[in-house]
Amino acid sequence: MLADRVSAVLIDGKLSPGSAGVFPTVNPATEEVLGAAVDATSFGGYKQSGNGREMGLAGFEEYLEIKVVATAV
């Protein structure tokens, strides 16, 4: 996790993983992680894993190599 959004965007271009988190915030009352993946966020295979993507718009765009960067709003 990175605390600087500009650094996160610059570094993301050099990462292999399909997702990265920036500025995670935890709600102390519920221990819920805010700013993390949501239902509309795609997840799944990247490169040669063969799993494909599910959920969100990226589920329909399996032929692209899309990365997700989650930031707190």
State the virtual CA torsion across 18, 44, 58, 34 in degrees, nearest 10.
Answer: -70
Report pLDDT digits (tens) over 38-73: 556 666 665 666 566 666 666 667 666 767 888 777
| Structure confidence at residue 62 (pLDDT) | 63
Residue 1 has pLDDT above 60, yes or no: no
| Structure confidence at residue 70 (pLDDT) | 81
DSSP 36: S
> CA dist 60 to 23, 29, 33, 64, Å?
28, 36, 27, 10
Report pLDDT digits (tens) over 5-43: 777 777 777 776 656 666 666 777 877 766 555 556 666
Alpha-carbon distance 37 to 49, whole Å? Answer: 20
Residue 3's pLDDT band (cuts 50, 70, 90): low
